[in-house]
Amino acid sequence: MKPIQVGLLGIGTVGSGTFKVLQRNQQEIRRRAGRGIEIAMVADLDVERAKSIVGDGVQVVADGRQVIANPAIDIVVELIGGYGIAKTLVLEAIAAGKHVVTANKALLAVHGTEIFAAARAQGVVVAFEAAVAGGIPIIKALREGLTANRIEWIAGIINGTTNFILSEMRDKGLDFGTVLKEAQRLGYAEADPTFDIEGVDAAHKATIMSAIAFGTPVRFDQAHVEGITQLAAADIRYAEQLGYRIKLLGITKRRDDVAGGGIELRVHPTLVPAKRLIANVEGAMNAVVVQGDAVGTTLYYGKGAGSEPTASAVVADLVDITRLATADPDHRVPHLAFQHDALADTPILPIAQVVTAFYLRLQVADQTGVLSRITTILAEHDISIDAVLQRESADGETKTDLIILTHDTVEGRMREALGQMQALPTVLAPIVALRKEELS
């Protein structure tokens, strides 16, 4: 059978990895897919650079529309990124009846509903394994491997840049700004790292996983998003003394205890017990923990970015589509795992209704009665204390740090208590409050 013909839109880091992996492993891939998979055409603004990567056998053009217009192309791979031209070209490729593979988490988290509907109307597949956690086959695991389960929650380190920064802050005791500069120098963080350090990239990925896990539309606009820019080295140190590590987690949870049901969808720095495997995921690595009612806890670990790790996911999608291209569209794996007419509108809960434990750091005057006033406020809000740590003040010092770990509480109640504690004259600086998850 004639090889499947693929057109690439964009040949940067992931595109060149995809080209290399398809070339290097072409025999194995053909044996798995049942036919060959060939990159026949590439569109990239830098035509000369693109030619130097793919050689003479592949047609290179500057305009992506030429790829879409080519009737010989069966699958379009979008590796441009962002919501601008990438969205236009993906929708045009779908309209032209092409299957699409994309690594674009931002596009799917924000416009997924529109894109999947367009694909369904045309009977084509939009595959996106590379959009979440790079080379880790987490979409496959959620959509197919765990399909027997009611997913209870997912918690993931799904941004390598921030995990690298947090690992360095902990290892070297350095503050955020210093480590960020070093990460940029080493090429771990981009020149404009905003999406990574503000938690937006992780929230895009968490949004996609949430929709697949719970059978809902993608709703990035309702995610609660906090990054790591405010995190102090002192909190990483205190957390460690209490047996915890701080990780930027993307979390989504089913909440059957609220009337009508709800879903938590949030990204924020989180204290995790140091003994959990995920707490020991260091550097730029990614990991996702999924809790299913039948399977229990499962953990997926690997490289979340990079040329060939991400290409591994792109090529897996190409193989899937090659196998499925002839299957009746109604019998393919649905984009969001659930049949499109079975998606539920279960609400994403506001952050005030989220339930977590907390780590609090209060800079307080070192005098009689301070601790008692603070614990009274917590008790009045029905917030139970799990552990307390007080830094010994140096000679002559009149203030100290008070660290409190709480048991689970509703966030709205904690915010009220924080307001009252902050107003105490003996609390001398803004209180640091970080969420804590036991993940068990």
Residue with Cβ nearer ligand HSE (135 or 304) = 304
Which DSSP string do the residues of 130-196 spell out, in sequence order?
GGSSTTS-HHHIIIIITTTS-EEEEEEE--HHHHHHHHHHHHH---HHHHHHHHHHTTSS-SS-HHH
Check if the beta carbon of residue 292 is closer than 8 Å to that of residue 337. no
**Site map (CB under 6 A) of ligand HSE, residues 129-168, x = contact:** ------------------------------xxx-------
Let me know if 247 is a catalytic residue: no
CA distances in angstroms from 20 to 100, 274, 310, listed in the order given = 20, 39, 12
178-197: which residues touch ligand HSE (CB under 6 A)?
196
Q: How far is the CB of 305 from ligand HSE (least distance, A)?
A: 4
The nearest distance, CB 175 to ligand HSE, in angstroms, is 20
User: Smallest gap, in angstroms, from Cβ of residue 291 to ligand HSE?
Assistant: 23
Greatest C-alpha distance within the chain: 83
Give yes or no for residue 320 binding ligand HSE (CB under 6 A). Answer: no
- Annotated catalytic residue within 205, 247, 303, 436: 205
201 binds ligand HSE, rule: CB under 6 A: yes
- Asked if residue 356 binds ligand HSE (CB under 6 A), the reply is no
Given the complex with ligand HSE, which of 239 and 305 has the nearer CB atom? 305
Please report which helix (H) or strand (E) contains residue 345, including its range.
Answer: none
Q: Is 302 in the site for ligand HSE (CB under 6 A)?
A: no
Per CB under 6 A, 304 contacts ligand HSE: yes
Minimum distance, C-beta of residue 224 to ligand HSE, in the bound complex (Å): 20
Q: CB neighbours (10 Å) of residue 144?
A: 12
Q: Is 15 among the residues that bind ligand HSE (CB under 6 A)?
A: no
Minimum CB distance to ligand HSE smaller for 159 or for 312: 159
As measured in angstroms, the least distance from the Cβ of 16 to ligand HSE is: 16
Rounded distance, CA 353 to CA 332, Å? 37
Q: DSSP characters for 214-232?
A: HT----GGG-EE--STT--
Q: At 60, list the tokens.
A: 């290179």
Which amino acid is present at 49? R
Nearer to ligand HSE, 58 or 249 (CB): 249
- Give the three-state DSSP class for 433: strand
Give the residues lining the site for ligand HSE (CB under 6 A): 159-161, 196, 201, 304-305
Catalytic residue set: 205
